[in-house]
Amino acid sequence: MSSLSIASYFPFTRVKVVAQNVHAEGALIQVHPDLRWRPLCHNCRMPGANLHSQGFRRMVRDLNVADRQVWLQVAYRKVWCPQCGKARVEHLSFCDSPQRLTHRLRRYIYGLCKLLPVAEVARHLELDPKTVKAVDQEFLQEEFGHTDYEGLRVLAIDEVAAKKGQQYLTVVLDYLSGRVVWVGEGHDKETLDRFFAGMTDDQKKAIRAVAIDMWDPYINRLQHHCPQARIVFDLFHVVKGFSFVIDEVRREEVRRAVGPMKQVVKGSRYLLLKNRENLRADQADRLEELLKINENLNRVYVLKDQLKMIYQHQRRPSAKAALDDWCAMAARVDNYHMAQFIKTLRRFEYGILNHCDFSIGTSRLEGVNNKIKVIKRKAYGFHDLTYFGLKIKQAFPGHAKDLKPTNSSG
């Protein structure tokens, strides 16, 4: 038995430290009720009318001292609560009745989980990973479980892969603050219906613009819930769609090629999809050779750069003229996938031209998605998608909405 007291490290109210047993493996602290205080009902916090029973004990884990575990052997009582009309366990200021971890240890676990995966925190504290996850999720639910719709004006909506098997989460971002507003399972009409279900009519009417990709379920629900909002199709997804066309044209040219030309065309996928400035010198030389000997690939490569130029126009008439010119040039490429892509651009022309009024896109969300992938990779995936959604909202709390509106028309 140590002659030194560590009672000052346990400044809990309504209880007192009566004994301590400190050894090389850790510490066992005996805590008894302080009889100077009337016991409180743990349910309603009202003073008990009289003592119902006593002599109960339970073990509660507390914060470590250095690298040694600390356990509290807590004696507690039951009181008759006139407010609840039944016998209740007395309230403990440092630990809720059903829990076996102190409040300060739980807060410490929550803080660690902001930086480390659950498995690492559990290993560090020698706790069950399920216990660590439950603590983290409880704090997350309290802080991020509700959806704050106030002040939303400009949104970006995209999906992120949650796990293998075509399972997605829809992520809604407040474009101005960078805050993840909502995360929902799925990426269909019903998913966005759940998001808008919590909004008032005034909050829906306040939304001025939304950046999305060319995904019909999102478009349908936005036009239904926020018909006044401008839908903006961002450059990233438009170019991504055209990259698929480039690859299909390349495949067709590989099938057509004969002799030495076949070897030049074959294996050129990334030469065509990468930006020229990202190519090595030898790759740039090979690309030049490829474009000289194949007219169709030369056209689609030029069209890729011209497609990006459409988004540099700030006035709708000039952007419309650039889009018309691009479609006319693209039509000269005899390829089924190119023809389908032109139809897609014409169908969604309004959302492409809307960038002239709101120069926004989901590129900011792509940065969010990249960080989400890191979170998922560190945790080796998430089986609980609700928990995953809360971790995403925690990672992107946003900042003060002091950014200037991105509406170029004022």
The 3-class SS string of the chain reads CCCCCCHHHCCCCCEEEEEEEEECCEEEEEEEECCCCCCEECCCCCECCEEEEEEEEEEEEEEEECCEEEEEEEEEEEEEECCCCEEEEECECCECCCCCECHHHHHHHHHHHCCCCHHHHHHHHCCCHHHHHHHHHHHHHHHHCCCCCCCCCEEEEEEEEEECCCEEEEEEEECCCCEEEEEEECCCHHHHHHHHHCCCHHHHHCCCEEEECCCHHHHHHHHHHCCCCEEEECHHHHHHHHHHHHHHHHHHHHHHCCCHHHHHHCCCHHHHHCCHHHCCHHHHHHHHHHHHHCHHHHHHHHHHHHHHHHCCCCCHHHHHHHHHHHHHHHCCCCCHHHHHHHHHHHHCHHHHHHHHCECCCCHHHHHHHHHHHHHHHHCCCCCCHHHHHHHHHHHCCCCCCCCCCCECCC
Looking at the fold, whether 242 and 270 belong to one and the same domain comes out as: yes
Where residue 66 falls (left for φ over 0; alpha for ψ -120 to 50; beta otherwise) is left
- Distance, CA of 182 to CA of 263 (rounded, Å): 49
- State the pLDDT at residue 380: 66
- Distance, CA of 169 to CA of 388 (rounded, Å): 9
Let me know: does 170 contact 392? Beta carbons within 8 Å. Answer: no
Looking at the fold, whether 163 and 271 belong to one and the same domain comes out as: no
400 in a structural domain: no
Print the domain residue range for 350: 235-356
Q: How far is CA 220 from the centre of its chain?
A: 23
Q: Which of 100, 121, 146 is the last residue of a domain?
A: 100
Phi, psi dihedrals of residue 135, rounded to the nearest 5°: -65, -50
CATH code, 209? 3.30.420.10
136 in a structural domain: no
Q: Are strands 167-174 and 68-81 parallel, antiparallel or unpaired?
A: unpaired
- Distance, CA of 86 to CA of 106 (rounded, Å): 29
- Distance, CA of 226 to CA of 208 (rounded, Å): 9
pLDDT at 113 over 50: yes
Looking at the fold, whether 203 and 257 belong to one and the same domain comes out as: no
**Model confidence pLDDT, tens digit, residues 35-77:** 888 888 888 988 877 888 888 899 999 999 888 899 999 998 8
Of the pLDDT bands very low, low, confident and very high (cuts 50, 70, 90), residue 346 is very high
Give the best-scoring range by mean pLDDT among 11-15, 120-124, 157-161.
Answer: 120-124
Looking at the fold, whether 195 and 290 belong to one and the same domain comes out as: no
The number of domains in the chain is 3
Looking at the fold, whether 276 and 174 belong to one and the same domain comes out as: no
List, in order, residues 6 or more apart from 63 with CB less than 8 Å away.
70, 102, 104, 105, 108
Q: By C-alpha distance, which of 192, 153, 150 is closest to 175? A: 153
- State the pLDDT at residue 316: 94
Let me know: does 177 contact 400? Beta carbons within 8 Å. Answer: yes
Looking at the fold, whether 218 and 249 belong to one and the same domain comes out as: no
The fraction of the chain above a pLDDT of 90, given in percent, is 50
Looking at the fold, whether 296 and 315 belong to one and the same domain comes out as: yes
111 in a structural domain: no
Average pLDDT of the residues of the chain: 87
Lowest mean pLDDT among 144-153, 219-228, 375-384: 375-384
282 in a structural domain: yes
Considering the entire predicted model, what is its pTM?
0.81
Q: By C-alpha distance, which of 271, 296, 274 is closest to 286? A: 271
Looking at the fold, whether 347 and 373 belong to one and the same domain comes out as: no
Looking at the fold, whether 228 and 182 belong to one and the same domain comes out as: yes
Calculate Rg over the CA atoms of the chain.
31
Looking at the fold, whether 35 and 53 belong to one and the same domain comes out as: yes
Looking at the fold, whether 352 and 387 belong to one and the same domain comes out as: no
Residue written as tokens 């480390």? 116
What mean pLDDT comes out for the span 282-302? 83
Of the pLDDT bands very low, low, confident and very high (cuts 50, 70, 90), residue 400 is low
- State the pLDDT at residue 384: 86
What mean pLDDT comes out for the span 142-150? 94
Let me know: does 156 contact 361? Beta carbons within 8 Å. Answer: yes
Q: How far is CA 138 from CA 109, 119, 129, 134, 312, in A?
A: 11, 17, 14, 6, 46
Q: Which of 81, 100, 119 is the last residue of a domain?
A: 100
